[in-house]
A = this chain, B = another copy of it.
Amino acid sequence: MSPARRLQGVKSSPVRDLLALTLRPEVISFAGGLPAPELFDVDGWTDAFAKASGDRRNLQYGPTEGDALLRALIADRMTHRGVPTAESDLLITTGSQQALTLLTTILLEPGDVVAVEEPTYLAALQCFQIAGAHVVPVASDDQGMVPESLAEVLARDHPTLIYAVPTFANPTGRTQPRERRQEIANLAATHNTWLVEDDPYGELRYEGAPVPPMASYGDKVLYLGSLSKIGAPGLRLGWLRAPQELMPTAVIAKQATDLHTSTIDQAAAATYLSNTDLNAHVAMLCGAYKHRRDTMLNALPTTVPTNTTWTTPEGGMFVWLRLPDNANTEHLLPKALSNNVAYVPGAPFFATTPDHATFRLSFTTNPPEEITEGMHRLSQTFNTPTKQTHP
């Protein structure tokens, strides 16, 4: 198949189409996975950019691997999170999305098999489809990817890589517990298969004990990190943590892709990380997001039809729901939009057979009062009997 044909086959970017629909200011959108803009540390970033843009070296070309200070600061942060990391283990990328694309470039040929938990992050699915990979689903339950299902897929399909969002997954919000991480890392090691851990949400935990990243459980883990959710997504700063055997190839691919990531954004981020107490900022975010999550979860019983099921995420950005009675959330979306509220239908998150009754709600983008109003509009969309009718 030609690349143009293959790209036309890529599920034509439902998030993009949706975001277009949700740009009307009167729409309360639970669709996009956007952090709360009013919680950005504008003063901190303004100071950082003032310092970075005043140094003419930051307007020049820079090294492909990334800003040395930024790499050192991120290595430190990862080490403190339980993943011992040296500067040389890291490649700065233009968002963690680019890190994933680089991995498909250096590891996948058309026809290669990729194993993904189902449902999973739809832009990862796009990435694999563009690479011409054959995507095979692994079953997931309330604790994420199911090891028995993964073992089956590994034995039967011999995937080149396994992709997962093990912590506060997109779209389900689920988190793999320690034991399961170890099991999955062992499976990857036994089958000598790369395991890609996409971890943009890991630091956004609102309850429960932290679980170390998968990368601390085995050597076959390729870790994708991001400043988008704890810093600011507009800077497009992410990173790949990979073993030395892969790094030179990843660097060549990065160079051919965009030479390097924005020098000035990297310098500003290094300044920001040096001058700011990011842990305090993350704690503030977690407090605010916990309140938003709770507002949404508390509203759910009176928002969605009886027998709807949903996840209760301990962190991250998303609640994943399933309507009863063979409902179709794509068919319901126009009604939601006419009620000035938006969500993402679940189908595009499935690599194979979609479950059309599923959908995703993001609770981070809107303040609590907007969430309450949005959930009210959603209840009208679903014709959910209001509280008053249940005396």
Contacts and interface: CB of A to CB of B under 8 A. Distances in A.
Interface string A85-128: 00000000111011001000111111000000000000100110
A7 interface: yes
Given A60-B234, A262-B235, A257 B98 contact: yes
B64 A53 contact: no
Nearest to A125: B256
B3 A61 contact: no
B4 A94 contact: no
A56 B40 contact: yes
A62 B19 CA distance: 10
Interface in A257-312: 257-265, 268
B37 A4 contact: no
A32 B13 contact: no
Given A12-B252, A54-B42, A105 B123 contact: no
Contact of A56 (B38, B97, B253): B38
A83 interface: no
A256 B130 CA distance: 8
Contacts of A94: 94, 236, 258, 261-262
B234 A259 contact: no
Contacts of A130: 105, 252-253, 256
Contacts of A38: 56
A48 B264 CA distance: 13
A232 interface: yes
Contact of A234 (B13, B109, B123, B263): B263
Contact of A50 (B49, B95, B109, B265): B49
A108 B4 CA distance: 9
Give the oligomeric copy count. Answer: 2
If over half of A's interface residues share one DSSP class (helix, strand or loop), that class is named, otherwise mixed; here it is helix
A253 to B, nearest CB: 6
A10 to B, nearest CB: 6
Nearest to A127: B256
A217 to B, nearest CB: 24
A57 interface: yes
Contacts of A251: 13, 16
B59 A235 contact: yes
A372 interface: no
Given A123-B256, A255-B123, A262-B235, A50 B60 contact: no
Given A130-B256, A232-B59, A2 B109 contact: yes
Interface string A144-184: 00000000000000000000000000000000000000000
A61 B365 CA distance: 12
A7 B53 contact: no
A11 B42 CA distance: 43
A60 B252 CA distance: 29
Contacts of A59: 37, 40, 42, 45, 232-235
A101 B56 CA distance: 28
Contacts of A13: 251-252, 255
A97 B49 contact: no
A37 to B, nearest CB: 5
18 contacts: A2-B109, A3-B107, A13-B251, A13-B252, A34-B61, A40-B56, A42-B53, A46-B54, A49-B52, A53-B268, A59-B234, A59-B235, A60-B232, A60-B234, A97-B259, A126-B252, A235-B263, A264-B265
For the complex of A and B, list the 3 residue pairs with the smallest distance between their C-beta atoms, beginning with the closest.
Answer: A234-B263, A59-B232, A49-B53
Interface of A: 2-4, 7-8, 10, 12-13, 16, 32, 34-35, 37-38, 40, 42, 45-46, 48-50, 52-54, 56-62, 64, 93-95, 97-98, 101, 105-110, 123, 126-127, 130, 228, 232-236, 249, 251-253, 255-265, 268
